[in-house]
Amino acid sequence: MLTLFAFIVALGLLIAIHEYGHYRMAVACGVKVLRFSIGFGRTLLRWQPKGSDTEFTLCAFPLGGYVRMLDEREAPVDASERHRAFNTQPLRSRALIVVAGPVANLLLAVVLYACVNWMGVQQAAAVLGSPVVGSVAERAGLMGGERVVSAGFAEAALQTVSSFEDVRWLLTRGALEGKDVQLAVQAGQNSQSREVTLALAAMGATEADAGLFRRIGLVSPYSRAELGEVMAGGAAERAGLRKGDVVLKFGSHPVVDGAQLRGLIRASVQSNATEVSVWKVVRAGQILEITVKPDMVQDGADNIGKIGAFVGAMPELILLRYGPFDGLWQGVVKTWDVSLLTLRMMGKMVIGEASLKNLSGPLTIADYAGRSASMGITSYLIFLALISVSLGVLNLLPLPVLDGGHLMYYLWEWVTGKSMSDAWQDRFQRVGVALLAIMMCIAFFNDINRLWG
């Protein structure tokens, strides 16, 4: 129920803001707006404010909306109102009305990101967990436990890093844009920083998924290798492990953090049986050696080790909060960065350099809406901002059925001095509808694979 409610609220808000952008600009340009509709199909709710020319409607099928304006191409227009018809407006006004929808979505993203910055959000500190064996991070010399002081693309000025999420975002951009990333890290609180280069350009990454971060090697922030709740009857309880034990060694392997310890436990299965190992742990200031034999459980097609205990302490958390101006500026920067990455990824998908698996449809959006809403208001606002950017950028693409397609018609009119013929516009519309249908089918197929594959 929460997923459905969060999805409907997200969809309704983003569509309403988009159409409101068109509506307000049309009114500002003196165009008569006949109907402002959220959704398609059967009308559920209809109202018209006193003294307004516009009928507002809420319809049954919520995947879209429209603003219907007075237009001679759709119906005869009385001579007394011809100056208020959309098609009689100068080129500049028509272009402004069309572009106002996507711009409204981008402005909404700025406001949402700014709200998150003003409210403050708890994020993991920029302390790196142990790198995945054989990954880019391990080959670069990272061990785990290093604090990232600053970071940036190779050969560019390094910027101060506030949280692990900042590092993760930079790594995502670097991998997808084919750029190496430099990190300035400290091994300890008072130690001197050193620079590490992660060779992401050579990865040839085509999609952003969990596998990408395993290849990079920095999957999660640092968490102390401490045991949490111990389940009754599990391998941890049978071995004598207790809540609060900090693991220093797993057999002959020094343990850096909780992520590494979880990996060692999972990999303890050999020849369909778990190996016995001696753990060195710290308990109440004393160092103990405890013999542990994990249980073997099936995880899909694989057998893995489990000990029946929560492994890994909570990572160090910091509260990120900005003042009025800084919070707004960071919202602008974030919206710009996400917009550029979205455009680059769409461009790479067109030329085959990025996987079409990056396309997401309504099922994935609904799933993320529910998950983010369950995590709290800030997570939900960040989700809304991300989808709002995607909607704004998507509508600016030069597809005839989208706002960007209409802008292409106006560009043609500006260059040639005459509007494109109805016949050519009709041909382009058909092509645009076909391309959009193909994109939607791919996105829906990806949704099914993600959620049920």
Q: Which amino acids are annotated catalytic?
A: 19
Give the strands of the sheet with 277-283, arranged side by side: 253-254, 246-250, 277-283, 286-292
Contact indicator for 267, 231 with CB cutoff of 8 Å: no
Name the 3-class secondary structure at 100: helix
- Taking residue 116's Cβ as centre, other Cβ atoms within 10 Å add up to 25
122 token code pair: 């708890």
Contact indicator for 14, 108 with CB cutoff of 8 Å: yes
Q: Of the candidates 56, 35, 36, which has an alpha carbon nearest to the alpha carbon of residue 45?
A: 56
In angstroms, the CA 205 to CA 122 distance is 29
Helix axes 91-119, 403-416, angle to 10 degrees: 140
Contact indicator for 125, 315 with CB cutoff of 8 Å: yes
36 CB contacts (<8 Å, ≥6 apart)?
19, 20, 23, 54, 55, 56, 57, 67
Name the 3-class secondary structure at 49: coil
Helix (H) or strand (E) holding 375: helix 362-375
Q: Of the candidates 442, 453, 452, which has an alpha carbon nearest to the alpha carbon of residue 358?
A: 442
82 CB contacts (<8 Å, ≥6 apart)?
72, 88
The burial class, CB within 10 Å (0-12 / 13-18 / 19+), for 423 is exposed
| Sole residue written with tokens 């709002």 | 388
The span from the first CA to the last CA of the chain, in angstroms, equals: 23
- Taking residue 434's Cβ as centre, other Cβ atoms within 10 Å add up to 11
Contact indicator for 158, 184 with CB cutoff of 8 Å: yes
**Taking CA 198 as the corner, what is the angle to CA 192 and CA 202, rounded to the nearest 5 degrees?**
165
Name the 3-class secondary structure at 253: strand
Contact indicator for 292, 279 with CB cutoff of 8 Å: yes
Longest CA pairwise span in the chain (Å): 93
